[in-house]
């Protein structure tokens, strides 16, 4: 009976949802650079360097490293990375072309574009699907496609107009972004299995953006005002939520926890309507301010931080690690049961 109870408790703990992290620890990776993504192994993608001489980079607890691209590439930026280590981004050639690329298993692949000579690979999921935006020549317009080894290039189409800008891709293969109508108006879209869904538009004199799509199909972004930005979420059922206390949302996890930026420009986590500063959750963070540029399913955050003097790239990791929560609960439950047995 004792063995059965222990086994049951351990099984329940392993399958229980993750609890809110009690805090974070942080590691300084290096000086400021542009961060775009982080995978579930804690490896990020971005770019360093100065104008016209950008370098695609990876970020991890071991530090910052350049992506080893061919010598013919004169500038580059990494926009996405999946759990297999596949990196996607844009590469500049000596003829000033910008080309979407995939770097996997030590091999560089130029994806190009369906039209024109300007393209950027913006995201990659674990199935190997790559989201690419491309410029249409002599048309001042943009298109987007999804590429994979199995399916090749699949253009997303549009809502009737001459541009579609795909911003985000999730593990289900859904894409979110902005597409124009025949009348030229920009609309938020969600593309699923070849079908583009019109999610509406926002009244904003200074425009709006689509910044991401959750694994549940929730689309999020921000509306720009004269002196501020206000975040929004379009839920999977189409309902729109205004989050005016946030200037930007970076990630929504499976439990509905929101990682974003407040109106002061620093990172916060919102859970059950309660907003908490990431600096307040982080060990040894006195004098530091943190952003929330890229977040993974384990709750790790790759971000820009300010140490009171300068900007740095930091990796924040939950303490304790999410995988240990269930074991801690199981241990507590077993000890409690054993204590009752002794009495």
**pLDDT tens digits along 221-244:** 999 987 889 999 999 999 999 999
What are residue 98's DSSP bridge partners? Answer: 92, 118
Residue 210, pLDDT > 80, answer yes
For 268-292, what is the mean pLDDT?
94
Contact at 8 Å (CB) between 53 and 75? Answer: yes
Question: What backbone phi and psi angles, to 5 degrees, belong to 324?
Answer: -90, -10
For tokens 């993974």, the residue is 296
pLDDT of residue 14: 40
6 contacts: CB under 8 Å, gap ≥ 6: 334
Token pair of 238 as six digits: 């189409």
Dihedral (C-alpha) 183, 184, 187, 193: value to the nearest 10 degrees?
Answer: 80
Contact at 8 Å (CB) between 216 and 210? Answer: no
**pLDDT tens digits along 112-163:** 766 666 899 999 999 999 999 998 776 668 999 999 999 999 999 999 999 9
For 80-106, what is the mean pLDDT?
93
Angle at 148 between CA 142 and CA 149, to 5 degrees: 140
pLDDT of residue 198: 97
284 contacts: CB under 8 Å, gap ≥ 6: 25, 26
Q: What is the DSSP string of 66-113?
A: E----TT--EEEEEEE-TT--EEEEEE-TTS-EEEEEEETTEEEE---
CA distances (Å), origin 60, targets 38, 79, 179, 209, 233: 9, 15, 35, 28, 30
pTM of the model: 0.86
For tokens 């913006």, the residue is 122
Distance CA 134, CA 117 (A): 8
- Tell which residue, 98, 290, 34, has the closest CA to residue 281: 290
CB atoms within 10 A of CB 123: 25
Residue 219, pLDDT > 90, answer yes
Distance CA 210, CA 191 (A): 13
Token pair of 176 as six digits: 């979110």
Question: What backbone phi and psi angles, to 5 degrees, belong to 239?
Answer: -70, 140
Residue 3, pLDDT > 60, answer no
Helix (H) / strand (E) element for 219: namely: strand 219-224
3-state secondary structure of 257: coil
> Which bin fits 193, alpha (ψ -120 to 50), beta or left (φ > 0)?
left
90 contacts: CB under 8 Å, gap ≥ 6: 76, 77, 79, 98, 99, 100, 101, 119, 120, 121
């Amino acid at each position: 009976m004792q063995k059965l109870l222990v086994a049951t408790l351990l099984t329940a703990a392993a399958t229980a949802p993750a609890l809110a992290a009690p805090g974070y620890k942080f590691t300084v990776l290096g000086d400021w650079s542009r961060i775009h993504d982080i995978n579930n192994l804690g490896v990020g993608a971005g770019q360093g360097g100065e104008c016209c001489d950008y370098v695609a980079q990876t970020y991890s607890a071991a530090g910052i490293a350049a992506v080893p691209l061919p010598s013919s590439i004169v500038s580059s930026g990494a926009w996405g990375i999946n759990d297999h280590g596949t990196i996607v981004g844009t590469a500049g050639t000596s003829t000033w072309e910008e080309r979407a690329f995939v770097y996997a298993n030590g091999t560089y692949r130029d994806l190009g574009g369906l039209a024109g000579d300007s393209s950027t690979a913006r995201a990659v999921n674990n199935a190997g699907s790559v989201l690419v935006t491309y410029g249409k020549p002599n048309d001042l317009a943009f298109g987007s496609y999804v590429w994979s080894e199995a399916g090749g290039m699949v253009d997303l189409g549009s809502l009737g107009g001459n541009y579609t800008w795909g911003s985000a891709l999730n593990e289900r293969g859904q894409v979110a972004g902005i597409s124009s109508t025949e009348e030229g108006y920009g609309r938020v879209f969600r593309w699923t299995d070849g079908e583009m869904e019109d999610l509406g538009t926002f009244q904003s004199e200074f425009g709006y953006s689509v910044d991401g799509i959750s694994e549940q199909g929730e689309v999020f972004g921000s509306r720009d005002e004269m002196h501020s930005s206000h975040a929004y979420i379009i839920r999977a059922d189409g309902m729109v939520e205004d989050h005016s206390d946030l200037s930007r949302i970076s990630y929504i996890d499976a439990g509905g926890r929101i990682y974003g930026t407040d109106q002061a420009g620093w990172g916060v986590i919102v859970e059950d309507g309660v907003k908490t500063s990431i600096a307040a959750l982080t060990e040894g963070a006195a004098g530091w301010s943190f952003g929330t540029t890229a977040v993974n399913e384990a709750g790790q955050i790759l971000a820009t931080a300010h140490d009171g003097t300068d900007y740095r790239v930091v990796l924040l990791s939950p303490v304790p690690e999410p995988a240990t929560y269930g074991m801690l609960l199981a241990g507590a439950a077993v000890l409690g049961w054993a204590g009752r047995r002794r009495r």
